[in-house]
Structure 1
Amino acid sequence: MSGSEKTEGPPIKPEDAPDSIYGPDGEPRFFAEPGMDRFVAVVMNLAQEIWVQEERLMALEGEDADAETRDAKLKAFIDRVFAPIREPGD
């Protein structure tokens, strides 16, 4: 399902989820500014697309990587994508 498609009815909310993480529209929110939630979604979508291209490139180049090698490359990719979040702030 793409970001533009909406499901009918109220969003699924776990019973033990605190109300403070949901906005007035019932959608989960993680940042005080709603635009940041949308921005993070855009970055995650782009990261997914980049990883798909990386896998396609490995296949085209004939890299017969075993599952362990692929998982190591995926971990390195995720570490690079999330590095700014993991670094201590100023």
Structure 2
Amino acid sequence: MENGLESFARLEERTLALGQCFRDVVEERNRLQLVVERQAQALAELEAKVSSQDDVFVAVDAKMVELLRQIDSYLPEDIVDSGRDQILPGMHGS
């Protein structure tokens, strides 16, 4: 009879230990899930920043082309003809 009680006590101990291990695994999974969610949020914010910087680069590029065209319009015609491709390569259809 005592042998059966000892076996049951060991089984109960192991069951409790397994239950604790399971809780530990669930807690770690939840912690890692929060880490992944924070990283996903940070990535989304970074993508938004990069996207807004792309818009800035496009705007700066357009402004540069506009300013170069203005410079081109102030240059004497003979300089424009000889250096047109150096100032605005490909912009005048030459």
Q: What TM-score do you get using the length of structure 2 for normalisation?
A: 0.33
Whichever of the two has the greater Rg, that structure is 2
**Which of the two has greater helix per residue?**
2
Q: What TM-score do you get using the length of structure 1 for normalisation?
A: 0.34
